[in-house]
Structure 1
């Protein structure tokens, strides 16, 4: 973990034509036999980490052999250790990986800023990886995750688990079947309150770190800052640019996922955002991000606009959606406007077709759900295929993270060249594809 790359020169290591990776696969990538139990380590066991851990462990073919969390309290490492008493316990993921000979696969459920450092190190050891969304903290890290998964021939999955729900799977099939014809435009949103934004800037002062919390390990690759209770750990880190990607990062990899799958989107051509002015600490309380993608076989033109809205009460304009005034939009979701009608994809609810009178006799073919967690474990055993592997979820995450860069440069139209990993349209915007890392925490790039 000791090979930092300057921001000036990092691009030369990552140019991948059209997102197609051309590195050789490692022939020694471990795939346990169908009758073997997959030995899994969980890094980050509180909050979403708890559900990732327990849902994966529900497979009879999985054995939880190691647990790691920087918080040893009863709500975090303590609870996980009580449920899996035979698993080894760690507070430092680096030590866990140093002692990982008996580990086949790793779940990474930490704050965003530590997804890539941990996942890259695990893949470089030949471990299969399930990593929470968004896949990484920066665009460059997302590209590196794709490179690593290919090079080390490991099974990967991003934690956008709603992708496996019958609602999203059914919506994708409706588009592929041509129910609304070619799609002209897309509007996606998350209109909820960002309850994790407790302050508008970094508070002064500090408080003693609890005995159960390993604060330096929690900060990891991020710059040092004093500990304050509830402001960062365990949940409100989502407010802070050093640790997260804000509301778009939190929900974009969910809500934009069926849009990507249905339209078979690749990389955007341009990105432009509207948002309030930012300081360098806290994310915006609302934003609108306008993407333009190349057209596909499922779109009506040579390009397709996809617009994202977030913030309390923020919705797309009604007149753009082709929906009756009587229909109340869900709090989050997408509308795909097609030549033959509109498809509403609520976040975690079955899709709806409009105009209702046109589709009154149309029976929506429901696509059964998959188990996002155990299917990854089965894929690691050679018995299934992951649907959100990093070759898919990497480009999706890159798109989301390009939106967060546009939010930092609100009003500027940014142009994206995915093949060259080049972003233009605002001063120093290229630098935001990556970030500096705290000494001693730099990932080893591929």
Structure 2
């Protein structure tokens, strides 16, 4: 375990670092990497998805895992990572890890949604390359900050929507780019699975002692303080709670809408409207339908194009809604892109399917997969490129999170001015682009 750092010492160090980074470019804080160097990686969040992110990145022989951080010291979290990489320094507080910033070059951030930006932003300000799980952030404003920080500090970034690099999604994108289905008229996307992480309808009363291996205050981070209860929050069911996540749309939107964004070359919507089951101030909705309108692109049939999202148990468009023959089988989650010459089904995750008589004998050319994890690591070394960098994944995340705002303000037409970060149509809309932060945990904005 790393040497204990008092709160006073941490704040003094953070202040000095912030002052220095205001006068020095990020590269002056970062190690200059040569062709024979290994990328020194620190992983923040080593359990659950963090475990696979860590292992898949470490699969490159050009990566050296030098630091591990998790608020849970049990075997399933920090414990197993420390066993696999015994030479790596271990931490339970990411702020202490960043105090040792000269010892690593890049960070993997695999925490609950609410901590993505608060960790990633200061890391980028220190000149560190960042791989961050999806959705990129918890708020629209945070997503914009992440995009601006990556550009300002000239670091290599990647969002963890790894299916983008799968042959299935890459093949679907190329089919649209090649004009196989003609110009696109509209898109429907869905995730019709049950939200199994919603265990209660409101915050339960009471509290229980925090287990010795869990650092609960560090898990809460920027979120308001609340008592510990087992199973309800850590380590998986936090997705149900508005303070920590973006619900089903936040969980799957950056995956399922990703090939749609890439195929149509979408940027920012101009409007959004949603229908959703009622919500209190704690738990996310159980079913929604969100419709965005985007400016048309070279791949769309008209000057605008609509993308509609559905989620909730068994909630998805019907064949009749889509004008499809009843024999066409739709996946439980995925998208259908309706084109002038036919339609393209993009399952989540399986090879795309063409719908239409003209495609009976069409053989789909498969686009080879990329390695989403090692390509980021190698890009940090100047040897590859990251396809879901924050310049791309930032606007994708903004779109997804605008959908969650629309769900909070259901049955309201909202207009989005991306250039000026303005959301209008409801008195509360603009305020929902941001959120308050716990005192002493405010993010380091650029």
| Cα deviation code 1:121-143 (max 9, x no counterpart) | 10000000000000000000000
The alignment status of 1:159 with 2:160, answered yes or no, reads yes
State the Cα distance separating 1:312 from its structure 2 match.
Answer: 0.3
More helix by share: 2
**C-alpha separation in 2, matches of 1:169 and 1:432:** 34
5 Å matches for 1:257-406? 257-355=258-356, 357-406=357-406
Instruction: Compute the RMSD of aligned alpha carbons.
Output: 1.3
Q: Which has the higher contact order (CA 8 A, sep 6+)?
A: 1
Per the alignment, residue 67 of structure 1 pairs with 68
Per the alignment, residue 416 of structure 2 pairs with 416
Per the alignment, in what secondary structure is the counterpart of residue 358 of structure 1?
A: helix
**C-alpha separation in 1, matches of 2:252 and 2:36:** 37
Per the alignment, in what secondary structure is the counterpart of residue 76 of structure 2?
A: coil
State the Cα distance separating 1:319 from its structure 2 match.
Answer: 2.5
State the Cα distance separating 1:323 from its structure 2 match.
Answer: 2.8
Retained in 1: the 8 A contact 2:26–2:126? Answer: no
Per the alignment, residue 91 of structure 1 pairs with 92
Unaligned runs of 5+ in 2: 1-9, 12-23
Per the alignment, in what secondary structure is the counterpart of residue 359 of structure 2?
A: coil
State the Cα distance separating 1:322 from its structure 2 match.
Answer: 4.0
**C-alpha separation in 1, matches of 2:215 and 2:444:** 23
Number of aligned residues:
424
State the Cα distance separating 1:277 from its structure 2 match.
Answer: 1.5
Retained in 2: the 8 A contact 1:31–1:381? Answer: no
| Cα deviation code 1:253-300 (max 9, x no counterpart) | 000000000000010011000001110000001100010000000000
The alignment status of 1:39 with 2:40, answered yes or no, reads yes
**C-alpha separation in 2, matches of 1:149 and 1:320:** 41
Per the alignment, residue 206 of structure 2 pairs with 205
Per the alignment, residue 123 of structure 1 pairs with 124
Per the alignment, residue 136 of structure 1 pairs with 137
The alignment status of 1:433 with 2:443, answered yes or no, reads no
State the Cα distance separating 1:170 from its structure 2 match.
Answer: 0.1
**C-alpha separation in 2, matches of 1:259 and 1:120:** 28
Moved more, 27-36 or 232-241: 27-36
Per the alignment, in what secondary structure is the counterpart of residue 108 of structure 2?
A: strand
Retained in 2: the 8 A contact 1:172–1:261? Answer: yes
Retained in 1: the 8 A contact 2:279–2:285? Answer: yes
Retained in 2: the 8 A contact 1:321–1:342? Answer: no
Per the alignment, in what secondary structure is the counterpart of residue 76 of structure 1?
A: helix
State the Cα distance separating 1:324 from its structure 2 match.
Answer: 2.2
Retained in 1: the 8 A contact 2:186–2:305? Answer: yes
Unaligned runs of 5+ in 1: 3-23
State the Cα distance separating 1:320 from its structure 2 match.
Answer: 3.8
TM-score, normalising length from structure 1? 0.93
**C-alpha separation in 2, matches of 1:287 and 1:33:** 49
TM-score, normalising length from structure 2? 0.93
**C-alpha separation in 2, matches of 1:30 and 1:112:** 29
State the Cα distance separating 1:25 from its structure 2 match.
Answer: 7.5
Per the alignment, residue 79 of structure 1 pairs with 80
State the Cα distance separating 1:317 from its structure 2 match.
Answer: 3.3
Retained in 2: the 8 A contact 1:322–1:341? Answer: no
Per the alignment, residue 229 of structure 2 pairs with 228
**C-alpha separation in 2, matches of 1:380 and 1:123:** 13
**C-alpha separation in 1, matches of 2:164 and 2:223:** 30
Per the alignment, residue 17 of structure 1 pairs with none
Retained in 1: the 8 A contact 2:39–2:64? Answer: yes
